[in-house]
Structure 1
């Protein structure tokens, strides 16, 4: 059945050459753990992407129940965790995944740095990778407020004060994040939700796509 569906699509779109171009791509010997134990350090990038996929899928599940309103946000999270089937598991995956993905990205960044993989001709890919790292930090920052509990409120107040201390654009940055009243309220929650669910994921997917495109074009960097 699946073969017939594939043949039907391939007859119209000719996807076989594209699939072979992806599937038949050779992996360098130095990243094969069967030949070199040190090749495991090359797994950090793939593991990071795997956790990102989990974050996206679990986040899509959570967004079906979350209500970005100051009167119902905490209640929606409580309902999700205690009433929805597997809700506690999915939320736990999303919660711990937010920390794990930062750790994996940090390890991946260390591997790239100490092996000199940021040097010519991969300078642009290094810049894109750093931008991905900042986007992931911003995702964790904006997602922290969404449960709307006291810990999240106090942490966000500190975040807004840090944003306000930014030279030249501090006041504008705080207004952008918190709203015109400069307090952690309904506008802040709405803006953090929009940034967390729409703007940052769009930027993340675009940067990851560009990252993979350059890796495919330039190949995986060699050992020291």
Structure 2
């Protein structure tokens, strides 16, 4: 059945050359665990991407029930966890995945650094990777407030105070994140939701596309 569907699509769009260009390429021996045990460290990037996909899919599910206002935010999370089928599992995946993806990205960054994979001709890809890291940290920070409980509220206040202490641009960053209000309130929650669901994911998808295109063009870096 799948072969027939593929043949039907391929007959009209000629997707086989595109698929072969993406999938059919040699993988260096040093990233094959069958030849080198150290090859496992080259899996950190793929694992990070896998967790990112889980975060996107689970986040899409959560937005179907989440209400981004200070009256219903916590209630919608409570409803999701206690009344929606498998809601607690999906939210748990998203919650723990948010921490795990940062850990895996940190390990991936260490591998790239200590194997010298940021050097010529991959300097630009290193910059893109660092930007992806900052976007992930932004997603973690903005997503922390959304359950609208006391822990999230006070943690966000501390985060906004840290942002405000940045020289020159600090007050502007705080206003951008929290709005004009001096307190963490409805405007803050709305802005964090918009940044978490729309702006940062758009930046993440663009950076990931650039990251993968450069990896495809330049190949996987060699060992140290």
TM-score by length of 2: 0.98
After the TM superposition, which segments of 4 or more aligned residues of structure 1 sit over 4 Å from their partners? none
2:97 paired residue number = 97
Structure 2 counterpart SS, 1:92 = helix
- Which residues of structure 2 form unaligned runs of 5+? none
The whole-number CA distance in structure 1 between the counterparts of 2:65 and 2:153 is: 21
CA distance, structure 1, for counterparts of residue 171 and residue 23 of structure 2: 50
Per the alignment, residue 25 of structure 1 pairs with 25
* 1:182 to 2:182 alignment: yes
1:180 Cα deviation after fit: 1.1
Q: Find the aligned partners of 2:182 and 2:132 in 1 and give their Cα distance.
A: 28
Cα distance, 1:77 vs structure 2 = 0.1
Q: Which residue of structure 2 aligns with residue 123 of structure 1?
A: 123
Structure 2 residue 203 is matched with structure 1 residue 203: yes
TM-align CA RMSD? 0.7
Superposition deviation, residue 4 in structure 1: 2.1
Cα deviation for residue 166 of structure 1 reads: 1.2
Listed one character per residue, the Cα deviations across residues 86-128 of structure 1 (whole Å, up to 9, x for unaligned) are: 0000000000000000110010001000000001110000000
Work out the CA distance in 2 between the residues paired with 1:125 and 1:157.
34
Which aligned pairs between 1:1-224 and structure 2 lie closer than 5 A? 1-224=1-224
* SS of the residue 1:144 aligns to: helix
Q: Deviations over 1:113-148 (max 9, x none)?
A: 000000111000000000000000000000000000
Cα distance in 2 for residues equivalent to 1:210 and 1:16: 23
* 1:125–1:211 Cα contact (<8 Å) kept: yes
Distance in 1 (CA, whole Å) between partners of 2:199 and 2:33 is 37
Q: Deviations over 1:165-187 (max 9, x none)?
A: 11111111111111111310000
CA contact (8 A) 1:175 1:182 kept: no
Deviation at 1:81, TM superposition (A): 0.4
Distance 1:32 1:144 in 2: 38
Superposed displacement of residue 2, structure 1: 2.1
